[in-house]
A and B are shown apart, each in its own frame.
Chain A
Amino acid sequence: MSVREKFDDELIRLQQKLIELGEFAESALSKSILALETKNIELAIEIMEDDIKADVLYEEINDFAILLIAKQQPVAIDLRRIIVAIKIATDIERIADFAVNIAKSTIRIGSEEHVKPIVHIKEMYSIMIKMLKLSLEAFNEEDIVKAKKVADMDDKVDDLYGETILDLMKISVSMPDRLPQITQLSFTSRYLERAADHVTNIAEHVFYLVKGRQYDLNS
C-alpha cells in the first residue's frame, strides 16, 4: 500500500475532474453540430450560455493542480501527471470554446437553407469526437498505443478539411450571394480541424506523461 494514499486520492480526483471537462466538451460539440444541422437557434444559445461551466471546471482544475504542487512537492511521474493535467485542461477548454464558435456560426446562418448538406463537416466532427474520446481513454489508462491512434486519425480530419474548403470555394463562385453562409461553414470546418489538433496535443501529453519526453505527433 502506498504511504501517500491521500496524495494518490487527490491525483485520482484531478484526473476525474479532467475527464468531466472532456465529457462536457464532447457534449457541447455534439450539441453544436446538431444545432448547426437542424438550425436550432435555441440550442445554439444554450451552448453559449453553458460554456461558463467549462470555464469554471477549467479554473478548478488549475487551482487544484497548483495547490497539489505547492502542498505535495511532486517529482517524476507525479509531477508529470499534474503538469499534463494543466496542459490537457487548456486543450479541452479550447475545444469547448470551438463548440461556442460553431454555435455562433449557427446563429449567423439563421434559418437560411444550407448551400449543400453538411456531410463533410459531420464526418470531420465524427472523427474528431472519436479522437477526443480515445485521447481521454489514453490519458485515463496512460496508454500510448491509444494516444498514437489519436494522432494518426488527425490526418483524415486534415484531408477532410482541405476537401471541405475546396468544395465551399467552388460553391462560392456559383452562389456569390450566399458568401456569408459559406464563410460561416468554412469557419466551422476550421474550428473542427483546430479542435482535432488540440486533441492531438492531448495525445502528445499522454506520451510525455508515460515516457517523460516530448513527442511531436503533429508532423
Chain B
Amino acid sequence: MTVSTFTANSAANTVKDKTESKKGMVYNTKDLNLWYGETHALKNINLEIQENDVTAIIGPSGCGKSTYIKTLNRMVELTPIVKISGDIQYREKSIFDKNFKVEDLRTHVGMVFQKPNPFPKSIYENVVYGPKIHGIRDKKVLDQIVEKSLRGAAIWDEVKDRLHENAYGLSGGQQQRLCIARCLAIEPDVILMDEPTSALDPISTLKVEELVQELKKDFSIIIVTHNMQQAARISDKTAFFLNGEVIEYADTDVIFSNPTDKRTEDYITGRFG
C-alpha cells in the first residue's frame, strides 16, 4: 500500500468500509526485539492491534512503551544506535520492507506527542502543512480540510474566527487539539499518541479523552499513557509493559477489574512503579 499523494481514496476511508463488515488488524507485531546499543529495550513483543480500537500502552517509566509506539512509525530508528529484530506488519505488510517507504507509512500513521508542538505559524497553516506537502494547492480543498480537521479535533468552534492568528496564542489544551487536527488533515489510518494529555489541565484532558472516543469511529488509536484511570476510561484493550516485555495484553475491562498477572495487579493498584 504505497500512497504518496493525498487523495480522497485515503486509508481512513478504507478502514470505514472494513468496519462495516468485520474488524481487521492494523498492526501485528511478531517477536520484536529492540536494542539501544547494549540495552535490550524491547523483548519478544507480540501484539495484535485491532482497527477502530483504542489500544492503551501502560507501564512504569523506562518500560519501553514509548520506544514501542515510536517503532510503529519507525521514528525510533532516528536514534543511530538502535538495532531491531523481528517484524511489525502494518495491514499485513512489513513496515521494515525496503519497498515500503517510511514517508508512506507515516502518511497512514499520524502521531501526537506529549507536549503540544504546533509550528510557529497560523492555525490555518498548521493544519494545511501536511496536505500541502502532499501537493494539494487548491484553496477551496484546503479550506475544507481545515474545517473538517478542526471539527474532527473538536476545536473548530473555538478557533474558526481566528484561523490566521499564530497557533502559539492558543492555550495548551487547544494547541494539543490543533496538533490532533494537523494529524487528521492527512487522513491517517492510525493515530499514535504518546502521553497526549500529560501536559494538559484536567478539563483539557477530558476534552482530548472525549475526542479520542469520537475519533475511534474512523481511526485506530494507540495511546501511551501514565494515567491509568485514563487508560481505563478510554481504551478497549490495554497492554501492560514492564522492563521491555508485554506482561499482559487483554480487554481493558479485564485488566482493570481482574488482571491475570500479579505484576499487572500490583502496577494498576499502585503498589509499585
> Contact residues of A with B, CB < 8 Å?
2-4, 7, 73-79, 212-213
A132–B256 Cα gap in the complex (Å)? 31
Question: Which chain A residues border B232 with CB–CB below 8 Å?
Answer: 75
Check A75–B228 contact: CB distance below 8 A: yes
Check B259–A73 contact: CB distance below 8 A: no
Beyond A73-B229, A75-B232, A76-B265, whether A4 also contacts B258 by CB under 8 A is: no
> Contact residues of B with A, CB < 8 Å?
228-229, 232, 256-259, 265, 268-273
A7–B273 Cα gap in the complex (Å)? 16
Beyond A73-B229, A76-B265, whether A3 also contacts B256 by CB under 8 A is: no
Check B259–A7 contact: CB distance below 8 A: no
Beyond A212-B257, A212-B258, whether A77 also contacts B272 by CB under 8 A is: no
Check B265–A77 contact: CB distance below 8 A: yes
CB nearest neighbor in A for B273: A3
Check A4–B269 contact: CB distance below 8 A: yes
Check A3–B269 contact: CB distance below 8 A: no
Q: How far is the CB of A71 from chain B (nearest CB, A)?
A: 13
A7–B271 Cα gap in the complex (Å)? 10
A2–B256 Cα gap in the complex (Å)? 19
Q: How far is the CB of B256 from chain A (nearest CB, A)?
A: 5
A-B contact pairs, 22 of them (CB 8 A): A2-B271, A3-B272, A3-B273, A4-B269, A4-B270, A4-B271, A7-B270, A74-B269, A75-B232, A75-B256, A75-B257, A76-B256, A76-B257, A76-B258, A76-B259, A76-B265, A76-B269, A77-B265, A78-B269, A79-B257, A212-B257, A212-B258
Q: How far is the CB of A199 from chain B (nearest CB, A)?
A: 25
